[in-house]
Amino acid sequence: MSQSADLARAQQRFARRQRLVRRHSWLPWAIGGGVLLLAGVVVWLFYFSSLFAVSGVRVSGADTVPVATIEQTAAAPTGTPLAQVDLSAIAGRVRTIPAVADAQVTRAWPNKVVVVVTERVPVVVVTDGARYDLVDATGTSYRTLTARPTGLPEAKVTGTRREQTVRSIVTVSAALPDPLRAQVGSISATSPDSITLNLGSGVKVVWGSSDDSARKAEVLSVLMRRKAQTYDVSAPDLPVTKGEKR
């Protein structure tokens, strides 16, 4: 009787161990299957369902450019899952707006596209007598006005090499010390090599090209200690004054 009981108990223990072994063998498969199922649900929710679809655009950084213009140019694909949206393509389209210097586009979950723009800042207004073009620090002309804006130096540009001349003027303007720039009423040029600054009281500064503009500005600051009607720093190592007042 004792041997039979011992044998029965041994068989029971063996059976329990077998059940545990079988359970442990399929448990990793069950966990792996659950993880795959969960991953599939997440992928479906974010990439294919309408739960996280684009419903609109949020714009920031716009001051002079209408928000409606940015939204229309961005052309965010409304109804498309946000995870599938090509952010680089949207940023590229927004950068085509002339007054926009740069654009960064991100996702704002659950369903918004965020567009942050950096607008161009005018440093000079260029005119040929009939129109007024706002130009930024890169020399890019991005907006044309019919009336002269205030608070910006005016550059009167004539001649055929307009774009090169404008870039040269911007370089010269950037090299001027603030006190001197404040005295500039207008800048005239017929080519990139014939830039003249027109100061108050009829005083003129013959600048020439934009080459060595930093050096020319230093020389001019010293030269203007002598009162004259014309200062010529086109050759900064050989500056000339005309109409000196004694």
Is residue 90 domain-shared with residue 143, that is, in the same domain? no
CA 74 to CA 91: how far, in whole Å? Answer: 7
Residue 94 shares a structural domain with residue 178: no
* CATH number assigned to the domain comprising residue 226: 3.40.50.11690
Judgement on whether residues 69 and 107 belong to the same structural domain of the protein = yes
Which of 183, 142, 146, 145 shows the shortest CA–CA distance to 166?
142
Q: Residue 27: is its pLDDT beyond 70?
A: no
Segment 228-237 mean pLDDT: 94
Instruction: Tell me: do 40 and 87 sit in the same domain.
Output: no
Same domain, 12 and 98: no
Residues constituting the chain: 246
Q: What are 174's two structure tokens?
A: 């950037």
With bands split at pLDDT 50, 70 and 90, how would you rate the model's confidence at 21?
Answer: low
The answer on 179 and 78 residing in a single domain is no
With 60 as the cut, is the pLDDT of residue 153 above it? yes
The secondary element (H helix, E strand) that includes residue 178 is helix 178-183
Q: Which DSSP category does 207 fall into? A: E
What pLDDT score does 40 carry?
Answer: 57
pTM: predicted TM-score of the whole model, two decimal places: 0.72
Stretch 170-189: mean pLDDT, rounded?
88
Helix (H, G, I), strand (E, B) or coil at 6: helix
What pLDDT does 142 receive? 94
Separation of alpha carbons 191 and 196, rounded Å: 10
Identify the top-confidence range among 53-57, 114-118, 161-165, 178-182.
114-118
The residue from 94, 119, 144 where one domain ends is 119
* Pairing verdict, β 195-199 and 141-145: unpaired
Residues 126 and 179 in one domain: yes
11-20 pLDDT, tens digit each: 666 556 656 5
CA distance 7 to 58: 77
Question: Of 69, 86, 119, at which residue does a domain stop?
Answer: 119
**Same domain, yes or no, for 103 and 114?**
yes
Percent of the chain with pLDDT over 70: 79
Band (pLDDT 50/70/90 cuts) for residue 10 is low
Average pLDDT over residues 104-128: 93
Work out the average pLDDT over 5-11.
60
Give how many domains the chain has, as a whole number.
Answer: 3
165 shares a domain with 213: yes
65 in the same domain as 18 = no
User: pLDDT at residue 39 above 70?
Assistant: no
Last residue of a domain, one of 10, 28, 48: 48
In this structure, the answer to whether residues 157 and 103 fall within a common structural domain is no
Average pLDDT, the chain: 85
The domain of 1 spans 1-48
Same domain, 128 and 221: yes
Which of 8-12, 24-28, 229-233 is predicted least confidently?
Answer: 24-28
